[in-house]
Amino acid sequence: MAVRIDGKAVSARVKADVKKEIEQLKSRGIEAGLAVVIVGDNPASRVYVNNKKKACSEVGITSYEYALPQDTTEEELLSLVEKLNNDSRVNGILVQLPLPEQIDEHAVINTIVPEKDVDAFHPENVGHIMIGDYKFLPCTPAGVMELIAETGIDPCGKSCVVIGRSNIVGKPMAMLLLHKNGTVTVCHSRTKDLKEICANADILVSAVGKANFVTADMVKQGAVVIDVGMNRNEEGKLCGDVCYDECEKKAGYITPVPGGVGPMTIAMLMKNTLTAVKAANGITD
């Protein structure tokens, strides 16, 4: 039976460390600010934004919410981003995705200045991740790496399989595992022999967004299984990509949904915002 990796507990430790540093900065007269922009009334996006604001409150970061109507134009949104780029109170800018269809997400991401891009989506920050000299890491992959570290298992030399090749999770996830000297395979919808590839993985990360996609026959005995999926099953219940009940019987370590990767994503956002504050004030420790 697998050891359950408690994302809530790990994220609480990360946030406690961030809070401590934020308090030290405040004692020096330095305030931290995160601007969160939401366009439209997507219920899931609203939940995410509220959770991010709550986390900011917990660690002592001032959050500035900008809630824009569904019919906001791309020009209007880009104008707001430019304003936030030049606002000294704002250390990090987060534009909640997805955006309405009239707005080009790439244009928005490219407009956020790299030093305030706490999601690490800007091409400049992506390039830094590729070559390994990054300031920011994408929040979800960074959170996954913290959870893997929690197991005490070093990716070095291990067979690591990532299911999914999105720019937000799959691709940067592969790079972070590679930076830790893992031997990485990225699987996707065109992959042949997917089941066999996954079944040989020492570390398996699923970020495909399909409920119960990963079954026990895709899991190696004793593997670390990280479930990034956030889905609804046929009964409308929140679930991940992994068939938890059957896979936990084979895995060595496994993350639950909810309570696994989700809390880590927000904790790492707080950590990135702290990094941005320190960089803006020339603090290198």
Which residues are the active-site residues? 52, 96, 119
Residue 97 gets which letter from DSSP? S
> What tokens does 229 get?
């999926």
Q: Which amino acid is residue 11, in one-letter code?
A: S
**What string of DSSP letters covers 76-111?**
HHHHHHHHHHT-TT-SEEEEPSSPPTTS-HHHHHHH
Residue with structure tokens 């990532």? 162
Residue 79: how many other CB atoms lie within 10 Å: 12
- Rounded-to-integer distance, Cα 254 and Cα 242, Å: 9
> DSSP letter at 121?
-
Strand partners, 254: 4, 225
Q: Where are the beta strands (DSSP E) in the chain?
A: 3-4, 33-39, 62-68, 92-95, 159-163, 183-187, 203-206, 224-227, 231-232, 238-239, 253-254
